[in-house]
């Protein structure tokens, strides 16, 4: 309603249409929640490639992924991927593509419109963010506790991990015990990762990928606990060179970040041995797909 008001829409049926959209969103999310309950995510994802899932679902996944890359040649139809939840992915995709049924077609259309709004609402001015929080609190039946400071901090760390790392590392040399502390933490992390790979990573079925992961762990010691780019201002400036920010252009900033992420992802795919790409691991569930260097795979998240 706020979007309609600011857009100058005075249609008396706005509230009715808004209620229809909300009902459709609830129906689709309930379907997806039921599917996830029936098909919980296991620790063993399905290993496949873009050609196989494109054939299975009659959908050109490689084309949509190329659209999300600065360099479309960074992938091919044979690019290996993991499906994190194959049955849930199948259910969700069948729902989205059931467009012969006009009711389902409308629900999916409204749901995708809502997802578009929900994705970019936090890039709009605060009055939109506040209304969105009120809506989510009413939708889920409980208040979502998140201060503006918490939200801003979380988003900055998520989107610009190397810049944040630089803030931590720029003055670390002035402390006599800094190197020892970082090396201790780094060694313990590497030890824990290796233990996980040897004993708990049952889903990583191929030894080649597992060995590559161990090689990256061994190489991590050269970075002493953080990406090497975080100690090189020239490299950091070059890394963020394609990202532009305007103080009063929220959607333009969001699009600029999208273009920036396309270039970063393309670079990660073309240079799988760069340790700097480790930062994507923490944020992959929020994206359509992601490249994780340690696993040497694209992840398609249902």
- pLDDT tens digits along 20-41: 988 998 898 888 889 888 888 7
Query: 295 pLDDT band (50/70/90 cuts)?
Result: very low
The structural domain count of the chain equals 2
Whether residues 192 and 295 fall in one domain: yes
Sheet with 289-292, side-by-side order of all strands: 46-49, 80-83, 297-300, 289-292
Query: What whole-number percentage of the chain has pLDDT above 90?
Result: 1
Residue of 222, 224, 226 lying closest to 167 (CA atoms): 226
Residue 76 lies in a domain: no
Between 239 and 206, residue with greater pLDDT: 239
Separation between Cα atoms, residue 235 and residue 239, nearest integer Å? 6
Give residue for tokens 């009715």. Answer: 16
pTM strictly above 0.75: no
Whether residues 119 and 171 fall in one domain: no
Separation between Cα atoms, residue 66 and residue 170, nearest integer Å? 36
Residue 52 lies in a domain: no
Q: Tell me the average pLDDT across 253-269.
A: 81
Whether residues 198 and 245 fall in one domain: yes
**pLDDT one-digit tens code per residue, 109-147:** 898 888 887 777 776 777 777 778 887 777 777 776 667
Total Cβ atoms within 10 A of residue 174: 7
SS (H, E, C) 241-266: CCCCCCCCCHHHHHHHHHHHHHHHHH
pLDDT for 136 = 77
Separation between Cα atoms, residue 144 and residue 95, nearest integer Å? 29
**pLDDT one-digit tens code per residue, 41-96:** 776 778 888 899 888 888 888 888 888 788 888 888 888 888 878 888 888 888 77
Whether residues 146 and 175 fall in one domain: no
Whether residues 145 and 164 fall in one domain: no
Between 264 and 220, residue with greater pLDDT: 264
The size of the chain, in residues, is 302
CA 156 to chain centre: 14
**Residue 30 near residue 58 (C-beta atoms within 8 A):** no
Whether residues 146 and 164 fall in one domain: no
Separation between Cα atoms, residue 83 and residue 32, nearest integer Å? 16
Whether residues 11 and 138 fall in one domain: yes
Residue 20 lies in a domain: yes
> Exposure pattern of 87-122 as b/e (b: 16+ CB <10 Å)?
bbbbbbbebeeeeeeeebeebbebbeebeeeeeebb
Residue of 131, 56, 67 lying closest to 93 (CA atoms): 56
Residue 67 lies in a domain: no
Whether residues 122 and 192 fall in one domain: no
Query: 8 pLDDT band (50/70/90 cuts)?
Result: confident
Whether residues 113 and 220 fall in one domain: no
Whether residues 226 and 131 fall in one domain: no
**Residue 70 near residue 262 (C-beta atoms within 8 A):** yes
Q: 7 lies in which domain range?
A: 2-47+85-150
């Amino acid at each position: 309603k706020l979007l309609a008001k600011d857009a100058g829409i005075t249609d008396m049926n706005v509230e009715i249409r808004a209620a229809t959209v909300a009902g459709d969103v609830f129906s689709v999310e309930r379907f997806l929640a039921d599917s996830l309950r029936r098909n919980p995510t296991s620790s063993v994802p399905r290993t496949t490639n873009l050609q196989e899932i494109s054939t299975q679902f009659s959908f050109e996944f490689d084309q949509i992924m190329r659209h999300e890359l600065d360099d479309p040649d960074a992938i091919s139809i044979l690019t290996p991927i993991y499906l994190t939840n194959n049955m849930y992915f199948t259910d969700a995709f069948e729902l989205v593509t059931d467009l012969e049924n006009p009711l389902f077609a409308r629900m999916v259309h409204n749901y995708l419109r809502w997802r578009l709004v929900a994705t970019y609402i936090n890039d709009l001015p605060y009055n939109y963010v506040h209304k969105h929080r009120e809506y989510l609190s009413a939708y889920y039946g409980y208040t979502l506790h998140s201060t503006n400071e918490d939200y801003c901090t979380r988003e900055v760390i998520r989107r610009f991990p190397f810049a944040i790392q630089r803030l931590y590392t720029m003055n670390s040399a002035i402390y006599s015990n800094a190197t020892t502390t970082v090396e201790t933490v780094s060694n313990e992390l590497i030890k824990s990762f290796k233990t996980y790979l040897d004993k708990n990573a049952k889903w990583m079925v191929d030894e080649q990928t597992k060995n590559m992961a161990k090689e990256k762990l061994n190489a991590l010691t050269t970075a002493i606990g953080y990406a090497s780019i975080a100690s090189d201002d020239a490299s950091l400036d070059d890394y963020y060179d394609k990202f532009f920010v305007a103080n009063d252009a929220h959607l333009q900033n969001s699009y600029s970040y999208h273009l920036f992420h396309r270039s970063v992802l393309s670079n990660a795919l073309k240079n799988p041995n760069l340790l700097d790409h480790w930062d994507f691991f923490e944020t992959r569930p929020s994206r359509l797909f992601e490249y994780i260097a340690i696993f040497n795979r694209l992840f398609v998240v249902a």
